[in-house]
Amino acid sequence: MIADGATLDLEVLLRGERAEVERALERACAWLAEELPDDLFQPARHAVLSGGKRLRPILCVVAHRACGGGTGPAAYDLGAAIELIHAYSLMHDDLPCMDDADLRRGQPTPHTLYGEANTARAGLALIPAASLWALRAATDLGLGATASRAIVIELNRASGAGGMVGGQALDLLGEGQSLDSNQLDRLHGMKTGALLTASLMIGGIAAGATAGTLAGLESFGRGIGLAFQVTDDILDATEVAADLGKHPSDSRLAKSTYVTLYGLNEAAEKARKLVEEATGALRDAQIDAPALIALASYIVEREK
* Closer Cβ to a copy of itself, 26 or 116, answer by number: 116
Q: At what angle do helices 73-93 and 164-174 cross, to 10 degrees?
A: 30
Shortest reach from residue 118's CB to a copy of itself, in Å = 7
Number of residues near a copy of itself (by CB under 8 A): 45
- 128 contributes a contact to a copy of itself by CB under 8 A: yes
Confirm or reject binding of residue 137 to a copy of itself (CB under 8 A).
no
Closest CB to a copy of itself among 198 and 214? 198
Please choose, out of 52-60, 122-130, 267-275, 291-299, the segment that lies near a copy of itself by the rule CB under 8 A. 122-130
Q: Rule CB under 8 A: choose which of 55, 170, 201, 285 binds a copy of itself.
A: 170
Neighbours of 37 (CB within 10 A): 11
* Cβ closest to a copy of itself, residue 122 vs residue 226: 122
Specify the residue, 2 or 153, whose C-beta has the smaller distance to a copy of itself. 153
Among 106, 142, 162, 212, binds a copy of itself (CB under 8 A): 162
Which three-class secondary structure string do you get for the chain?
CCCHHHHHHHHHHHHHHHHHHHHHHHHHHHHHHHHCCHHHHHHHHHHHHCCCCCHHHHHHHHHHHHCCCCCCHHHHHHHHHHHHHHHHHHHHHCCCCCCCCCEECCEECHHHHHCHHHHHHHHHHHHHHHHHHHHHHHHHCCCCHHHHHHHHHHHHHHHCCCCHHHHHHHHHHHCCCCCCHHHHHHHHHHHHHHHHHHHHHHHHHHCCCCHHHHHHHHHHHHHHHHHHHHHHHHHHHHCCHHHHCCCCHHHHCCCCCHHHHHCHHHHHHHHHHHHHHHHHHHHHCCCCCHHHHHHHHHHHHCCC
User: Considering only residues 121, 272, 273, 302, which one is a binding residue for a copy of itself as defined by CB under 8 A?
Assistant: 121
- Choose among 1, 90, 102: nearest CA to 54: 90
- The reply on whether position 161 binds a copy of itself by CB under 8 A is yes
Q: Does 42 bind a copy of itself (CB under 8 A)?
A: no
Q: Of 80 and 135, which CB lies nearer to a copy of itself in the complex structure?
A: 135
Site stretch for a copy of itself (CB under 8 A), options 68-76, 115-123, 222-230, 284-292: 115-123
- Answer yes or no whether residue 142 interacts with a copy of itself by CB under 8 A: no
What sign results for the dihedral spanned by CA atoms 27, 28, 30, 31? positive
Residue number, 146 or 182, with CB nearest to a copy of itself: 146
Site string for a copy of itself, 82-101 (x = CB under 8 A): ----------x--xxxx---
**160 lies in the site for a copy of itself, by CB under 8 A:** yes
By beta-carbon proximity to a copy of itself, the closer residue of 32 and 200 is 32
Query: Interface residues with a copy of itself (CB under 8 A)?
Result: 32, 35-37, 39-40, 92, 95-98, 116-118, 120-121, 124-125, 127-129, 131-132, 135, 144-146, 148-149, 152-153, 155-157, 159-162, 165-166, 168-170, 172-173
